[in-house]
Amino acid sequence: MDRRSVLRVGVAVGVGASGGCLSRLREEAGVDDADGETSRIARVEDPPDAVYVPSHRETMERLEPARAGDYAVAPMVTYAHPFWLVDGSETTLVEPQGGPEVHLMIALREPETGAALPVASGARLRLEHDGESIGSVSPWPMISQGMGAHFGDNVPLEGDGTYAVEVELPPLGVRTTGTLAGRFETFETATFEFTYDEAFREAVADVEYLDEELWGRRGALEPTGHGGGDGDEGNDSNADDDRSGHEGDEGGMAHSVSALAPAEEYPGLLGAPERDDAVLVTALLEPGSRFAENGERYLLVSPRTPYNRVPLADMAMTATVARGDEAVEEADLVQTIDGEYGHHYGAGVAELAEGDALTVAIEGVPQVARHQGYETAFLEMEPIELTVGGA
């Protein structure tokens, strides 16, 4: 197969599909379709238990951005495609149902700082078709290599026409600090529209298959549309096992609106150990920081994906401080979004001192849905152990 093969698929977007045509194109591209289910986009067989390069890059239509109170809302729509839900450490594959259907997505951030807001339990999308209500969905918090952190779901449609979507966002539900403190505490709504027709299906039907030699290789695609552009050459450069992120990114935002700052930008950095391919940037802020109370230091853990630094939300962590053989302090790390340090988990600690042993136990792995390339990682995360003031 050529380095990049672009297949035009109608099956995944419903109307106008031709299974025979897709089957022929898949055969020409060297994609096995032995199961006879031509509606499925090729997936990597036997992927590693890590972040890996998927079989293809998705195409999407970016819609007009909207505002909802303090939220900046970036809506997107593409063809319906598989994703994986996470329950505990188990994953469940969600397949498209067929018929007119799209994958509807929104990315949320704070507009001034650019801080990603990957947590919004209870968000709701209400759809109207040509002025008539057709129902609502609660989008899943998700991560994808192309989109970073976002919310989305496969949504059935009523056929061609104009669709109006009302986004209802509840209070954020996590601690906010710094310039974000006291915000995102009320229900907000935003609206946007998209047209589902032949032109839309043509626009999103290009499935860009990568060189099959890259499928399943440890690495990741760069986010689309942020510096590389959809389908630009070189967007699979992160297939190399280089976790330094994107050098030269302004403000640590990388190419994606959800990228966290590189590890070296955190003051009091203790380390950036990896667990099940997640990178856990761990820092200890000195007494006197705006997080500290009564002379405490602030322990900050910022878990993110390798390569693209996408925040890993909805985890549970506890920290234990030991001096010699004795545990002297324990703390639950609270999920937090800060205007300066972004999404992280943190707690004040009073006893942590030079030479102490710090153990952070991951009590719950990220409870976010995953697109292809992330579904086998971040599922079994062992504790991290660091020494304050030591290697």
pLDDT in tens, 177-225: 999 999 999 999 999 999 999 999 888 877 788 999 999 999 999 887 5
Instruction: Look at residue 73 in the predicted model and tell me its pLDDT.
Output: 94
- Residue, of 34 and 57, whose pLDDT is higher: 57
Instruction: Look at residue 260 in the predicted model and tell me its pLDDT.
Output: 95
Interval 305-330 mean pLDDT? 94
Contact partners, residue 193, CB within 8 Å, separation at least 6: 63, 162, 163, 164, 165
Gap between the Cα atoms of 291 and 221, Å rounded: 35
Interval 21-50 mean pLDDT? 55
Instruction: Look at residue 257 in the predicted model and tell me its pLDDT.
Output: 58
CA–centroid distance for 39 within its chain? 25
CB atoms within 10 A of CB 40: 18
Gap between the Cα atoms of 156 and 238, Å rounded: 34
Q: Which of 29-43, 169-183, 295-309 has the lowest mean pLDDT?
A: 29-43
At which residue do the structure tokens 């505490």 appear? 185
Inter-residue contact 14 to 98 (CB < 8 Å):
yes
Q: What is the pTM of this model?
A: 0.84
- Burial grade of 93 (CB within 10 A; 0-12, 13-18, 19 or more): exposed
Contact partners, residue 232, CB within 8 Å, separation at least 6: none
Statement: residue 175 has pLDDT above 80:
yes
Is residue 40 very low, low, confident or very high in pLDDT (cuts 50, 70, 90)?
low
Residue closest to 227 by CA, chosen among 292, 308, 318: 308
Inter-residue contact 286 to 268 (CB < 8 Å):
yes
Measured between its terminal Cα atoms, the distance across the chain in Å is 46
- Residue, of 166 and 354, whose pLDDT is higher: 166
Inter-residue contact 279 to 304 (CB < 8 Å):
yes
At which residue do the structure tokens 């297949």 appear? 7
Residue closest to 48 by CA, chosen among 379, 382, 384, 383: 379
Domain limits of the chain? 258-387
Statement: residue 152 has pLDDT above 70:
yes
Using DSSP, state whether 268 is helix, strand or coil: coil
Inter-residue contact 34 to 50 (CB < 8 Å):
no
Q: Which of 74-78, 240-244, 274-278, 372-376 has the lowest mean pLDDT?
A: 240-244
258-387: in CATH 2.60.40.2480: yes
* Six token digits for residue 280: 């856990």
- Residue, of 243 and 145, whose pLDDT is higher: 145
Q: How does the average pLDDT of the chain come out, rounded?
A: 82
Instruction: Look at residue 174 in the predicted model and tell me its pLDDT.
Output: 93
Instruction: Look at residue 238 in the predicted model and tell me its pLDDT.
Output: 53
Q: How far is CA 67 from CA 121, 173, 239, 315, in A?
A: 18, 19, 35, 28
Gap between the Cα atoms of 83 and 342, Å rounded: 26
Q: What percent of the chain has pLDDT over 90?
A: 63
Is residue 389 very low, low, confident or very high in pLDDT (cuts 50, 70, 90)?
confident
Statement: residue 127 has pLDDT above 60:
yes
